[in-house]
Amino acid sequence: MTCVDPDAFALLRHKDVSSALIEEIAPELLGGTLVAQDGGAHRQARDAIKAAFLPKGLTQAGIGDLFAPIIRARVQAWRDRGDVTILRETGDLMLKLIFSLMGIPAQNLPGWHRKYRQLLQLIVAPPIDLPGLPLRRGRAARDWIDTQLRQFVRDARAHAARTGLINDMVSAFDRSDDALSDDGLVANIRLLLLGGHETTASTMAWMVIELARQPVLWDALVEEAQRVGAVPTRQAELAQCPVAEALFRETLRLHPAVTLLPRRALQDLQLGQQRIPAGTHLCIPLLHFSTSALLHEAPDQFRLGRWLQRREPIRSVDTLQFGTGPHVCIGYHLVWLELVQFSIALALTMHKAGVRPRLLNGAEKGVGAITRPHIRP
């Protein structure tokens, strides 16, 4: 059942709604990960990692200082090259960031990138296991990735003094009463790499596309970047960048990186006048809510003012692109930091060189804007 009434969003918080359907839909990709678990098993895995992703954990670990030079270097390379295919570039950048966050040496990044692309084929692979078909290729990619991750886990145990999220996760999991098997640990590390990679890379690419489409937006961002003068590195500094924050929120509202969430009703549920029988498969359509006229005025228009002029605090429905309830995205504060850092670095670097983003190859006219976006000084 797909329900387009925004009230259905609250089902994500309902105790009789289960995430186990996710494992049935994508057993090869998400089996054994916390996103597909309910109750105690889910809490145990989430508790082991959540503190590292809160503002305090990110600041204590110096994540902003770690990311700023990587982002600046990449944006400077774009300025020097002129034309870039933006989604490929943001994908590479995000892989580098997520690896540095996890404390994984950034060797053979193009190899990892290729494997990730093949891994994602498991979502849509028909159940035919033959050489060259997506299922076979996706499984081989997953085995390659898991072999590397298993080695990182072994290294983390051998060098407990090292820093990095993998080390923290391994010790937190090992310390917990009901320690996760290595398979569970590896599956959850793979989930973090996946969750933190494609989603943020596509949002970043959409931000550049929107900046290229709307010169006024670019000018506002440049003005803010010049006022703050440097890429922020601490969570507390993000408040000085309202335009960059509004850019991130409005881009994600119009182009949500996760478009729907699957769930199953464990008991009979009531939604308005509708009775939902136990066992029903539910589709919570985030893309639909995010652009619904019931929640937003002129929902199809890109308006920074929605965020800049608001008086009330951000509510969970304003961040619905990250879900809600027990499974709400663990990476929300990290994404906020990364995307503000990225926007400010882009504006400072390009403006100093007297250039601005622009779409090439008629990309602004239609499908090309999605599949082949470029920027050019």
Residues lying near ligand HEM in the complex (CB under 6 A) are found at 19, 34-35, 46, 191-192, 195-196, 199-200, 203, 252, 257-258, 261, 321-323, 327, 329-331, 334-335
Give me the phi and psi of 14, to 5 degrees please. -75, 135
Q: Which of 71, 334 has the CB closer to ligand HEM? A: 334
- Shortest approach of ligand HEM to residue 270 CB, angstroms? 21
Residue among 118 and 321 whose Cβ is closer to ligand HEM: 321
**φ/ψ bin of 323: left (φ > 0), alpha (ψ from -120 to 50), beta (otherwise):** left
19 vs 343 by CB, closer to ligand HEM? 19
From CA 7, how far away is CA 353, in angstroms rounded? 48
CB closer to ligand HEM out of 164 and 195: 195
Neighbours of 336 (CB within 10 A): 19
Report in angstroms how near the CB of residue 101 gets to ligand HEM at its nearest: 7
d(CA 135, CA 125): 5
Least distance CB 163 / ligand HEM (angstroms): 17
Between 222 and 373, name the residue whose CB sits nearer to ligand HEM.
373
Work out how close the CB of 189 gets to ligand HEM at its nearest, in angstroms, rounded to a whole number: 10
Q: What is the number of the residue whose Cβ is closest to ligand HEM?
A: 331
> What's the min distance (Å) between Cβ of 293 and ligand HEM?
22
CB of 304 to ligand HEM, least distance (A): 18
Nearest to 289 by CA among 245, 268, 258, 313: 258
Strand segments (E) across the chain: 17-18, 84-85, 261-265, 269-271, 274-276, 281-284, 374-375
Retrieve residue 179's tokens.
């320690």
Q: For residues 207 and 222, which CB has a smaller minimum distance to ligand HEM in the complex? A: 207
Q: Which is nearer to ligand HEM, 49 or 222 (CB)?
A: 49
Backbone angles phi, psi at 114, to 5 degrees: -60, -45
C-beta separation of 286 from 261 below 8 A: yes
In angstroms, the CA 4 to CA 249 distance is 22
Residues in the chain: 377
Q: CB of residue 145 vs ligand HEM: minimum separation in angstroms?
A: 15
Taking CA atoms, 138 is separated from 19, 81, 110, 117, 185, in Å, by 23, 33, 17, 8, 20
204 φ, ψ (degrees, to nearest 5): -60, -45
- What are residue 264's DSSP bridge partners? 18, 281
CB of 199 to ligand HEM, least distance (A): 4
Q: Which is nearer to ligand HEM, 65 or 83 (CB)?
A: 65
3-state secondary structure of 175: helix
Smallest gap from residue 42 Cβ to ligand HEM (A): 6
Of 150, 121, 149, 114, the residue nearest 136 (C-alpha): 121
CA-to-CA separations, 326 to 46, 173, 179, in angstroms, rounded: 9, 19, 21
Q: Of 138 and 331, which has the nearer Cβ to ligand HEM? A: 331
